[in-house]
Amino acid sequence: MSQDQLKQQVATVAVELVQAWLGPDDILGVGTGSTVNFFIDELEKQRVRLRGAFSSSDASTRALKEIGIEVLDSNSGERAVLYVDGADEVDTEGALIKGAGGAHTREKIVASLSESFICLVDESKVVERLGLGDFPLPVEVIPMAKALVEAQIAQLGGVPLEREGFRTDNGNLILDVEELDLSDPESVERRLNNIPGVVENGIFSGSRPSVTLVGHDCGVELRCTESIRQRHASKWNAIDVCCETLLN
């Protein structure tokens, strides 16, 4: 199967899971990126009814409005039942790297506003440890702090490179960082965010997904912890997966 076919496959299963998990009065959190675009298209095809959605980017907001889903104010004080998004890398413990599209700050906000997080990836995004894939680590930075942040990232062992001609929806720049040791992603996530001028980095260790759906040629693999599996066992009956993997 092509990568787009794998993305379509996991998007279809994700919408089946959304229909089992959410009712018409619930709020859905929606991420950003190519896999999410397939997911939004599938929401329309399956005529999913929701009260509305929290969106993580201007692009996703436009796509949701085009299919008739109301985009709600994230400052309303309400919470989403589910957040659905893709990832650039996912390790064997469920930690992620996100931000190839530069929306990771808003994505992390919407994930934090949601009770559960479903991550959608194809098998090429699965790595033994973060940093072993093809994606650098994105760091959103306030422009006036660029030189300061670059110097402090270098002290941590990273090699930062500004993403040319790009600004986030928040008006900030992105530094794509290579060669950082990400064997302890939770620690690196905190250390980067403690640098003055850093808005947010693309490590999702504290905001790991509750469920990860992985697209393979043979079908969709479901990854979650045993506690999540037991808590939501009835929902798995509504989806078609080829296998399940329990995480620690």
pLDDT at 248: 80
Mean pLDDT of the region 120-130: 96
Of 42, 89, 107, 150, the active-site residue reads: 107
191-243 pLDDT, tens digit each = 999 999 999 999 999 999 999 999 999 999 999 988 998 888 888 887 889 99
% pLDDT > 90, the chain: 90
Is 70 one of the annotated active-site residues of the chain? no
Prediction pTM value? 0.96
Average pLDDT over all residues of the chain = 96
Distance CA 172, CA 146 (A): 10
> What domains can you pick out in the chain, each with its CATH number?
3-126+206-247 (3.40.50.1360), 137-202 (3.30.70.260)
Q: Which residues of 9-34 are buried (b: 16+ CB within 10 A; e: fewer)?
A: bbbbbbbbbbbebbeeebbbbbbbbe
Tell me which residue has tokens 């992105």.
174
